[in-house]
């Protein structure tokens, strides 16, 4: 059930939320926001109502990114285009950001002073290495295939005497119960499987799969593959007792600025943590600390909504994935811990000229690039099978979490994202997805069974952009149908409807998803 009806309803639900999320400290990640007028709020409520007519496309449905939508390219660059409504002057910044996104970092000291500082322990040498063509990563595909677009997050329960973090203090004051976790005392927040010369990589990811057959209607059977993860060749001793590992593939990059521009109130209005309306869906807001704004904010990005802004996400990735310091994460040794003295004492690329290893201007350009990777136009929205699949998507209850539409804030300083009707197909809330997808690694308010609803725009272009069809947080699903069949928990009733529906309807549902 879609819960956003009026702007006054948004405010009422925000104020009623069990976590104190209505204060100004949890609002937009933008410095300049123009409030909606009453007339605009009424128009927004009307245009974001769920579809009821499945005989034809909805108005503007072919432009999922609003005016920023770009025509679809028939090649692997489909996710790498700037917002269509971007001025020529701002497109220059986008191109500069793209160059920095693709830049290969090298170890220090180096004659290439603008590019040194890699690691010493790291997962990739550039942003592009994980987000190939700005698209989706994949798990290792057999012997010899690296895991460069996949990583293992790691954490362990905090000790009783560990001081509370800023976000833990905030959440405790609101009465929210967060599972207190800390990075592994030796290996940090994620396993670094690469290292510069003279240093040992932390470990190597290993994965094995077991078959899980699922019987569908009309005699169809689908065999899922269930992954089991482990680490091999631990170079710095054993993992902490009770440490939990969670495999994550790099998500696609399109539409991030539009997601950031959705009013926080509109996302919070969809939260129903106690399932007060009895529909079986109890989405919860993730609340995290923003280094960018030095305050608690609504989490929007990442598989468990662990990051609130694009700048926060960019700084975390530079630090943890590449070992590059930035103005928001200035430690030059990245994810290295006090137990890794050689890493901490290694030469780094920070200097008096540029400050951190990526300077403030370059960091801003990377964030601008990430904010403006455009969503391609829809395909075949008026096709009869696609429309039938869209109705099946709604009738099965998928829209309870994969909310089709939002309208972004008015942003005078971000014209590309300002006041756009967008179609991300996500509510950006945390949902219990059941035992099958549980990673047993809590993150902030997210339990080991909860995941942020993934946006679906562009999902049908994964094969074109990245040459594979691997989905979900760890890429275990080899098709869109497999991704659906892994859904459990709150999504179990919708999954069962897909299992039970006629085979032709199921095919139409997949055809609809492929058109997004």
d(CA 4, CA 48): 8
Q: Is position 2 within any domain?
A: no
Residue 452 DSSP SS3? strand
pLDDT (0 to 100) of residue 113: 79
pLDDT (0 to 100) of residue 27: 60
Residue 39 DSSP SS3? helix
pLDDT (0 to 100) of residue 18: 34
Predicted TM-score of the model (pTM): 0.93
Burial of 93 (0-12, 13-18, 19+ CB in 10 A): middle
Number of domains in the chain: 1
Q: Is position 408 within any domain?
A: yes
Q: Is position 51 within any domain?
A: yes
Structure tokens at 443: 């993150």
450-452/181-182 β-pairing: unpaired
pLDDT (0 to 100) of residue 210: 97
Residue 155 pairs in a beta bridge with 244
pLDDT (0 to 100) of residue 119: 97
150-157/244-249 β-pairing: antiparallel
Q: Is position 97 within any domain?
A: yes
Q: Is position 274 within any domain?
A: yes
Phi-psi region of 356 (alpha: psi -120 to 50; beta: other; left: phi over 0): beta
Q: Are 482 and 471 in contact (CB under 8 A)?
A: yes
Give the angle 444-448-451 at the CA atoms, nearest 5°: 75
pLDDT digits over 288-311, tens only?
999 999 999 999 999 999 999 999
User: Splitting the chain (516 residues) into consecutive groups of 10 residues, what average pLDDT does each group show?
Assistant: 30 31 55 83 94 97 98 98 97 98 95 90 96 95 76 94 94 88 97 96 95 98 96 96 95 98 96 94 96 96 98 98 97 96 96 90 98 98 98 98 97 96 98 97 96 98 97 98 98 98 98 98
pLDDT (0 to 100) of residue 475: 97
pLDDT (0 to 100) of residue 163: 95
Q: Is position 1 within any domain?
A: no
295-298/287-290 β-pairing: antiparallel
Q: What DSSP character marks residue 243?
A: -
pLDDT digits over 309-351, tens only?
999 999 999 999 999 999 999 999 999 999 999 999 999 999 8
For residue 223, the tally of other CB atoms under 10 A from its CB is 11
Q: Is position 119 within any domain?
A: yes
Q: Are 211 and 223 in contact (CB under 8 A)?
A: yes
Range of the domain at 236: 7-514
Phi-psi region of 263 (alpha: psi -120 to 50; beta: other; left: phi over 0): beta
């Amino acid at each position: 059930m879609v819960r956003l009806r009026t702007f006054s309803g948004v405010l009422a639900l925000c104020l009623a939320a069990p976590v104190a999320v209505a204060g100004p400290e949890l609002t937009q990640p933008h410095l300049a926001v123009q409030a909606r007028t009453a007339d605009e709020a009424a128009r927004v409520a009307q245009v974001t109502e769920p579809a009821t007519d499945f005989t034809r496309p909805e108005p503007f449905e072919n432009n999922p990114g609003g005016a920023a939508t770009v025509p679809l390219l028939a090649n692997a660059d489909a996710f790498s285009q700037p917002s269509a409504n971007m001025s020529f002057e701002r497109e220059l910044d986008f191109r500069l950001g793209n160059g920095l996104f693709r830049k290969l970092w090298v170890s220090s000291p180096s004659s290439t002073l603008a590019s040194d500082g890699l690691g010493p322990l790291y997962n990739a040498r550039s942003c592009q290495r994980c987000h190939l063509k700005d698209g989706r990563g994949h798990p290792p595909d057999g012997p010899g295939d690296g895991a460069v677009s996949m990583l293992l997050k790691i954490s362990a329960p905090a000790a009783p005497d560990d001081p509370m973090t800023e976000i833990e203090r905030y959440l405790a004051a609101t009465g929210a119960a967060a599972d207190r976790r800390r990075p592994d005392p030796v290996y940090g927040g994620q396993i670094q499987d690469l290292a510069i010369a003279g240093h040992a990589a932390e470990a190597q990811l290993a994965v094995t799969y077991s078959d899980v057959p699922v019987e569908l209607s009309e005699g169809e059977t689908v065999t899922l593959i269930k992954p089991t993860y482990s680490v091999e060749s631990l170079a710095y001793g054993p993992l902490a007792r009770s440490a939990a590992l969670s495999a994550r593939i790099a998500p696609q990059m399109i539409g991030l600025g539009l997601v950031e521009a959705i009013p926080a109130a509109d996302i919070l209005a969809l939260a129903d943590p106690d399932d007060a309306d009895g529909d079986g869906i109890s989405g919860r807001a993730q609340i995290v600390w923003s280094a960018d704004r030095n305050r608690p904010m609504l989490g929007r990005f990442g598989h468990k909504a662990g990051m609130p802004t694009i700048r926060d996400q960019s700084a975390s990735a530079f630090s943890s994935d590449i070992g590059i310091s930035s103005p928001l994460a200035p430690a030059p040794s990245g994810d290295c811990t006090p137990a890794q003295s050689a890493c901490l004492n290694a030469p780094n690329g920070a200097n008096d000229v540029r400050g951190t290893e990526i300077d403030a201007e370059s960091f801003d350009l990377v964030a601008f690039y990430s904010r403006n990777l455009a969503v391609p136009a829809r395909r075949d929205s008026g096709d009869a099978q696609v429309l039938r699949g869209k109705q099946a998507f709604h009738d099965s209850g998928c829209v309870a979490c994969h909310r089709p539409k939002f309208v972004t804030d008015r942003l005078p300083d971000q014209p590309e994202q300002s006041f756009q009707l967008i179609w991300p197909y996500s509510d950006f809330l945390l949902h219990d997805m059941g035992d099958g997808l549980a990673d047993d690694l809590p993150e902030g308010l997210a339990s080991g069974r909860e995941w942020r609803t993934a946006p679906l725009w562009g999902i049908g272009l994964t094969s074109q952009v990245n040459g594979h069809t691997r989905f979900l947080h760890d890429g275990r699903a080899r098709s869109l149908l497999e991704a659906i069949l892994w859904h459990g928990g709150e999504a179990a009733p919708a999954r069962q409807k897909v299992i039970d529906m006629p085979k032709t309807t199921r095919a139409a549902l997949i055809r609809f998803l492929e058109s997004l």
